[in-house]
Structure 1
């Protein structure tokens, strides 16, 4: 018992283990909070009074694959990434490229479109979330749903590197 107070003092030093994993938070809430701008057709925009587009449908597919509900949260460009960074949103699906500057601030899913290497940013240091998100993307790619979504909204299969080079 004499060692217990000492161990309690060391607990903050084990921060990678004490840090709550984003995947646990998503599962506990039962929803994936997806930030997008909502004014950029064909990615996300209002049509007939509801939000639609490539990014919207991709977010909904990913949430289903993660077995949670999707919560689509429309925001402006100033709040998009800062909201992900602060934990207000889990991800931003807003046709974002993995630039070196953004890679310093965020972790990313694997790319979901071939060009220009578009991926989904989320808070750093969440390996379980990254693994789950990447596996969900892989399933959506493997069964053709992502290619069909790309053809529907972008008029070509932007998941195919050869098609996107043309």
Structure 2
């Protein structure tokens, strides 16, 4: 009986649902850690010693919608995705399409921007796999900033066009 009661205490720890959701960690920390590349004007770059650009302002808007502070972290391209995968960053805002093989490694938000090179490219935000509540929170935040026109205005400001619609 003692063994059985001890086993019952350990079962919740073995459950996949016992793992904390990323949204809980973000809320507990009070900040959204956003990985960005520097020197990618107009997306993220330094101007007069201050980080600015489309991706910077998008990260700030998302953090505001999640009711946490933005922590904008400049990193090199090699660390962007590996840092998200390891949990060093919560999200990476990357102005490039993700190759299909990344779908096995990351979950993504709904697209926030559409560009046309040789074909339509949907830009989405990658984050650690297996965080459905975080995904839902980010998607709701994106939907709110799309619906009230802030994302279109941001796109117009930095990209010279509204790239929020396919």
- Do Structure 1 and Structure 2 share a fold, with TM-score over 0.5? yes
Taking the aligned partners of 2:48 and 2:22, their CA distance within structure 1 comes to 34
Taking the aligned partners of 1:5 and 1:139, their CA distance within structure 2 comes to 47
Count of residue correspondences: 160
What's the counterpart of residue 136 of structure 2? 131
Q: State the 1:153 CA deviation.
A: 0.4
Write out per-residue CA displacement over residues 26-74 of structure 1, whole angstroms, 9 at most, x where no aligned residue.
0000000000011100000000110000000000000000000000000
Runs of 4+ in 1 over 3 A off after TM superposition: 8-13
Taking the aligned partners of 2:17 and 2:163, their CA distance within structure 1 comes to 39
- Answer yes or no: is 1:149 the counterpart of 2:154: yes
What's the counterpart of residue 7 of structure 1? 8
Taking the aligned partners of 1:37 and 1:8, their CA distance within structure 2 comes to 45
Given that 1:150 and 1:158 are in contact with CA atoms closer than 8 Å, whether structure 2 keeps it comes out as yes
5+ unaligned residues in a row in structure 1: which ranges? 162-166
What's the counterpart of residue 118 of structure 2? none
- Answer yes or no: is 1:95 the counterpart of 2:100: no
Given that 1:98 and 1:108 are in contact with CA atoms closer than 8 Å, whether structure 2 keeps it comes out as no
CA RMSD of aligned residues (A): 1.3
Q: State the 1:12 CA deviation.
A: 4.6
Q: State the 1:20 CA deviation.
A: 1.2
Superposition pairs of residues 37-52 of structure 1, within 5 angstroms = 37-52=37-52
Write out per-residue CA displacement over residues 46-104 of structure 1, whole angstroms, 9 at most, x where no aligned residue.
00110000000000000000000000000001111110001000000121324211111
Q: State the 1:9 CA deviation.
A: 4.5
